[in-house]
Amino acid sequence: MTLTVRAAVTNDLPAIQAIYAHHVRHGTGTFEEVPPDLADMSTRFAAVAHHNLPWLVAEREGRILGYTYAIPFRPRSAYRFTVEDSVYVAPDAQRLGVGVGLLTELIAACEALGLRRMLAVIGDSENFGSVGLHARCGFSHQGVLTGVGLKFGRWLDVVLMERGLGVDFDTPQQ
């Protein structure tokens, strides 16, 4: 059965919210401690759309297995060509290529928009799945912010990774 990666629509939000709620409750990839409700996820979805950035889902046989999106890295105009990615996969769909499929398509969509840098701000330096996923998709390790978050009684690091987008990502634009 093939995996389909497509643009997310509002009807996907309950599945997206359920996947994210699992990661909030059980994981350290996000530092949120209380899962957002469906209304909050709808607001987040609208914010991504407001910036004309992609939000994608991976689907197999009508079931959403994961999602990814890009958000502006920072609000100042000098950062307008740089985005931060997020990728979340349903727990029973991890290590099946869903994350790679999603992130590969997100990178392509951001390149098509003329963006030049994508950053990964990965919760927990022990989040080997996300670090490995980003490395497989061409991200390079840029640093670690040590012990900046507290969740589940542990001080957690943030791993910073980045990759260039497009063939001329080092050429200045106006």
- The pLDDT score that the predictor gives to residue 109 is 98
In angstroms, the Cα distances linking 49 to 14, 75, 133, 170, 171 are 17, 15, 25, 27, 27
Give the distance, in angstroms, between the CA of residue 49 and the centroid of all CA atoms in the same chain: 15
- The pLDDT score that the predictor gives to residue 107 is 98
**Domains of the chain, CATH where assigned:** 4-118 (3.40.630.30)
The residues of the chain scoring below 50 in pLDDT are none
- The pLDDT score that the predictor gives to residue 166 is 86
Cβ(126)–Cβ(91) under 8 Å? no
Q: What is the pTM of this model?
A: 0.94
What stretch of H or E contains 45? helix 38-50
Cβ(71)–Cβ(82) under 8 Å? no
- Calpha distance 60→139 (Å, rounded): 27
